Chain A
């Protein structure tokens, strides 16, 4: 049945967007983390979304159209972080430098708003479909 698929699809969308919100939270929390080498400095993480046309969805009446979404993996940003001279820091290397994360807080805030809007859209779809199903169940009872 088609309309029950919507719960799976919107659910997968909400799950993917919440992973995105999680990475944003982790990036923002580590925005000021420093490290004693560029390799161990915190790198911003991003989820990679992928449409899923799995076997279950592919057999529906709309066939391959029933695409849910999944998080294919988390990638780390390759942008170099900044090195700053801070000899008083206990994490400073032999030359007195600490290496900060490459998180761009403004970009992360924008990403957070985008993720929360998409999450709201999915939640709205879920709610509306639920209402339609309830109305269909009540058909002929009044």
Chain B
């Protein structure tokens, strides 16, 4: 029985990646809270995470479900053979526009309070995923050292 660190950590590293990208999108919304015509966006988390679990868009990817093979995985647009729209974990296609609660005269659909609370919630979830990974590592450490 071979040990695979990717499958040992489960879905948490992918969740961490999606959380950090969602933080990015929410930060853009907050920064553009006063920009006329800016449309607030958010990531469809469930869809993005299930795609992440399958290893991005299935091109040369070995996600947690990908078994023990050491296939190279495209993680950055600067990597060889990667086009800007096909990263290893691209969440671009999971972006959705927010439905505004109230119309605004300048066409801006950012609700600062909503974005702030979504950002805070996202951060707590990020911390939770970190804690899960942390405890996985400490379990592993116990096994190694005892």
Binding site for B on A (CB under 8 A): 1-3, 5-6, 9-10, 12-13, 16-17, 20, 48-51, 58-69, 114-115, 117-118, 121-122, 124-125, 128-129, 132, 135-136, 139-140, 142
Contact = CB atoms under 8 A, between A and B. Distances in A.
Contacts of B119: 125, 128
B28 A68 contact: yes
Nearest to B24: A2
Interface of chain B: mostly helix, strand, loop or mixed:
helix
Contacts, number: 124
A13 B31 contact: yes
A9 B127 contact: no
Interface of chain A: mostly helix, strand, loop or mixed:
helix
B24 A9 contact: yes
B11 interface: no
B90 interface: yes
B24 to A, nearest CB: 5
B77 A3 contact: no
